[in-house]
Amino acid sequence: MDFDFSVWILQMANFLLLVFILSKLFWKPASEYMNKRAKYIADSLNEAEAKKKEAERLLTEYEEKIRGYEDEARAILTRAEKQGLEKRERITAQAKEEARSLKSQADWEIKQNKLQVEEDLKKQVAELAVLAASKIISENMDAELNRALVEKFLDKVGEVNVH
C-alpha cells in the first residue's frame, strides 16, 4: 500500500470542509442549546436555593408561632387555675359565712327556747305557789304566815331560775 499524498490532501480537505459545514450548521444551535441548558440548571439551582431559604424562614416563623401558642396556652391555664382558686376561696368564705349565720340563728333559737322554758317554768311555779297558798289558806293559817311562806317559796324559785 502506497501512500498517496494527493488523496490524503483531498481527504483532509473534505474533512475540514465537513467540519466547517457542520460547525456552521450545528455548532451554533448545539452551543445555544448547551447555554440554555446550563442557564436552566443554574436557574433551577437558584430557585431551589430560594425555596429552601423560604422553607427555612417559614419553619422558623411557624416554630415562633407554636412557641407563642404554647405561651398563650400556659397563660390561659394559669389564668383558669387562678380563677378556680379564687372561686374556691369565695365558695369557702361563703360557706363559712353561712355556717356562722346558721350557728348564730341556732344560738338565738336556743336562747329564745330557754327563755320560753324559763317563762313556762315561772308560770308553773306561780301556779304551784298559788295552789300551795290556797291550800295554806284553806287550812286557815294566819295571813302573815301565808305571805311569808309564799314569798320565801318565790324567792327560792327565782334563785333557781336565775342560775
User: Cα separation of 36 and 44, whole Å?
Assistant: 12
Which amino acid belongs to residue 60? Answer: T
For the chain, what is the radius of gyration of the CA atoms? 62
Q: pTM surpassing 0.75? A: no
- The residue ranges of every structural domain in the chain are 35-162
The residue with greater pLDDT, 28 or 1, is 28
Which amino acid belongs to residue 134? Answer: S
Q: How big is the chain, counted in residues?
A: 163
The residue with greater pLDDT, 155 or 111, is 111
User: Cα separation of 129 and 157, whole Å?
Assistant: 10
Per-residue model confidence (pLDDT) at position 59: 95
Which spans in 23-142 are helix H? 28-138
When pLDDT is cut at 50, 70 and 90, the band that residue 73 belongs to is very high
Question: What are the two backbone dihedrals, phi and then psi, of residue 141, each rounded to the nearest 5 degrees?
Answer: -90, 175
Stretch 58-62: mean pLDDT:
95
Q: Could you give the C-alpha distances from 6 to 2, 14, 19, 145, in angstroms and in order? A: 12, 12, 20, 188
Q: Chain-centre distance of CA 26, in angstroms?
A: 77
Stretch 42-62: mean pLDDT:
95
User: 33: buried, middle or exposed (CB in 10 Å: 19+, 13-18, 0-12)?
Assistant: exposed
CB count in 10 Å sphere of residue 161: 13
Whole-number percent of the chain with pLDDT over 90: 57
Q: How many degrees, rounded to 5, is the angle at CA 131 between CA 128 and CA 135?
A: 135
When pLDDT is cut at 50, 70 and 90, the band that residue 153 belongs to is confident
